[in-house]
Chains A and B, each alone.
Chain A
Amino acid sequence: MSILVLAEHHDGVLSGATAHVVAAAQQIGGDIDILVAGEDMAGVAEAAAKLDGISRVRVADHGTYAHLLAEPTAALIAALAGDYSHVLAGASTTGKNVLPRVAALKDVSQISEIVAVDSADTFARPIYAGNAIATVQSADPLKVITVRATAFDAVGETGSASIEAVDFVADNAQSAFVKEALAESDRPELGAARVVISGGRGMGNGENFKLLEGIADKLGAAIGASRAAVDAGFVPNDMQVGQTGKIVAPDLYLAVGISGAIQHMAGMKDSKVIVAINKDEEAPIFQVADYGLVADLFEALPELEKKL
């Protein structure tokens, strides 16, 4: 077996998620190559070559691959795929954008966001927002797979793989990069934060979300919200954690004034430690919380901020 892993990078830096995807590739077994596609990729290629367990780093360094636009990147991977039994990428917005396109170009299914490798053709993946885990077997000659990075421990960086250039240049007259606006906030983004603090309808109004900010600053946390808080107009939709919002799995999740609707729990129940603060001791959120505090959040939050 031979596996191609698409490297992810931003601003000329190899993203940490790639080492997790390589770990999933190692569980499948076989030779592992990394594909580094982009512009001015020397630094990223060198970083990728250090990852443990890599045979070759194949570098497609060309302007057409800048920002890893789906059309040229998928064409590149499809052109190389004949050498491989598996193509893997992280289940990031990049992997999710590019890999289904590769799969369709090769007329195979894609297996999305795997969380476990049972064998070279059998994988586990969450469905229904993580409310069930499906085990699926692929009969396709080429397995195209995205990997949930948090489900696999990163490989080390003691390797020294060879680096080879790929000459294939995909034509692309269909799509062009215009601009990128990455969050300027000092806070981490919801999906990647180690700590998340979310407010629900119990916050009462949008102004009261300020009560979460001081705590978020002290903990280096991202701030989220339940759908109820979004529907009530307290905060914008991009803060929503839940089945119809962002799925998060931080080390620590603090749910404040959130009752625990199914659709919210679907988005946060894989967090390592869950804390719930709610004045209603019957709230369903307490059934999944490791630590529950039955209290008025307007008293508990200022106290928590002061004592942290």
Chain B
Amino acid sequence: MKVLVAVKRVVDYNVKIRVKPDRSDVDLTNVKMAMNPFCEIAVEEAVRLKERGVASEIVAVTVGPKAAQEQLRTALALGADRAIHVETDERVESLGAAKVLAKLVEQEQPGLVILGKQAIDTDNNQTGQMLAALTGLPQGTFASEISVAGEGDEQRLQVTREIDGGLQTIELTLPAIVTTDLRLNEPRYAKLPDIMKAKKKPMDVKQPADLGVEVASRLTLLKVEPPAERKGGIKVGSVDELIDKLKNEAKVL
């Protein structure tokens, strides 16, 4: 089974982001970028499926600027076989990304598509679900465990999902779209020889127009502001004083 994995280049999760002085957006000048953590989990799951003999080929894809090829190379170093970069400098929203991915699904005909459940920049949590709608495929979102059972037309994907308050298991026909949650796996680090080998793996570069997809934004970003500043409070001298403050001042006990 061919597996398509989508990855996104985002701000490294350790970076403290700042809003631009003119409040037009966040300031990403000279900020460390990395693969979105949930996408790392998606790549890892695809690699594990290949190691288990379930996946035959892993195709990593991204939609974004030229620099996003760095994240595709990371995916290749981790075990993807080839990559597709759909290059654009537009601020691509989830719907635009999903439309690009839907075209790639049509071309590549994967048995399974794995995406991160959300990117830690826009925090939208939409692309996988939208891709499922556009391709008419079933979706297993927020997955903490996936397994394939059966053969041929009887093949089904069991997905255990992280839902509010617990876990839900559903069964999907294939092909299917899966989005990853934190507990699905713990991603490995790329080894140096694999990073070298990744440089030689094939990477196909396309434009959204090549796919006949319009990725321009539908939403206007009017402003971006820092959240209400949280003021530091006071130090208390003892456990007794802490309990007193929580009871009588904060009134939360």
* B204 → chain A closest CB, angstroms: 25
A206 part of interface (Cβ distance < 8 Å): no
Binary per-residue interface labels of chain A (273-307) against chain B in the complex, 1 for a CB within 8 Å, 0 otherwise: 11100000100001111111111000010011001
Contacts known (A192-B164, A252-B252); A275 close to B218, Cβ less than 8 A: no
Q: Are A131 and B168 in contact (CB under 8 A)?
A: no
Q: Are B169 and A131 in contact (CB under 8 A)?
A: no
B108 part of interface (Cβ distance < 8 Å): no
Contacts known (A109-B95, A262-B16, A291-B250); A70 close to B166, Cβ less than 8 A: no
A189 part of interface (Cβ distance < 8 Å): yes
B243 part of interface (Cβ distance < 8 Å): yes
Separation of A292 and B93 alpha carbons in the complex (Å)? 41
B195 part of interface (Cβ distance < 8 Å): no
Q: Are A128 and B171 in contact (CB under 8 A)?
A: no
* A269 → chain B closest CB, angstroms: 6
Q: Are B133 and A237 in contact (CB under 8 A)?
A: no
B208 part of interface (Cβ distance < 8 Å): no
Chain A residues near B54: list those with CB within 8 A: none
Nearest to A75 among chain B residues (CB) is: B133
B209 part of interface (Cβ distance < 8 Å): no
Q: Are A132 and B141 in contact (CB under 8 A)?
A: no
Separation of A300 and B241 alpha carbons in the complex (Å)? 12
* A56 → chain B closest CB, angstroms: 26
Q: Of B142, B164, B170, which contacts A191 at CB under 8 A?
A: B164
A158 part of interface (Cβ distance < 8 Å): no
Of B45-53, B76-84, B122-130, the one touching chain A: B122-130
Nearest to B157 among chain A residues (CB) is: A175
Instruction: List CB contacts (< 8 Å) of B111-134 with chain A.
Output: 120-134
Chain B residues near A132: list those with CB within 8 A: 17, 19, 26, 224-227
B205 part of interface (Cβ distance < 8 Å): no
Separation of A281 and B232 alpha carbons in the complex (Å)? 13
Contacts known (A70-B141, A173-B173, A292-B236); A101 close to B132, Cβ less than 8 A: yes
Binary per-residue interface labels of chain A (260-275) against chain B in the complex, 1 for a CB within 8 Å, 0 otherwise: 0111000001101111
Q: Are B130 and A100 in contact (CB under 8 A)?
A: yes
Chain B residues near A219: list those with CB within 8 A: 253
Chain B residues near A288: list those with CB within 8 A: 230, 232
* B224 → chain A closest CB, angstroms: 5
Chain B residues near A272: list those with CB within 8 A: 252
B234 part of interface (Cβ distance < 8 Å): yes
Chain B residues near A307: list those with CB within 8 A: 239-240, 243
Of A26-34, A44-52, A110-118, A161-169, the one touching chain B: A110-118
B44 part of interface (Cβ distance < 8 Å): no
Q: Are A139 and B125 in contact (CB under 8 A)?
A: no
B146 part of interface (Cβ distance < 8 Å): no
B98 part of interface (Cβ distance < 8 Å): yes
* B167 → chain A closest CB, angstroms: 5
The 5 A-B pairs of least Cβ separation, nearest first, read A182-B166, A290-B233, A104-B133, A100-B129, A104-B130
Q: Can you add 9 more A-B contacts, CB < 8 Å, to A291-B250, A293-B239?
A: A100-B127, A109-B94, A109-B218, A112-B123, A135-B225, A177-B170, A189-B166, A219-B253, A288-B232
* 21 CB-based A-B contacts, threshold 8 Å: A70-B139, A93-B142, A101-B132, A103-B130, A104-B95, A110-B124, A128-B11, A128-B26, A131-B16, A135-B221, A135-B225, A136-B222, A139-B220, A178-B171, A179-B169, A238-B162, A273-B250, A287-B232, A292-B234, A300-B239, A307-B240
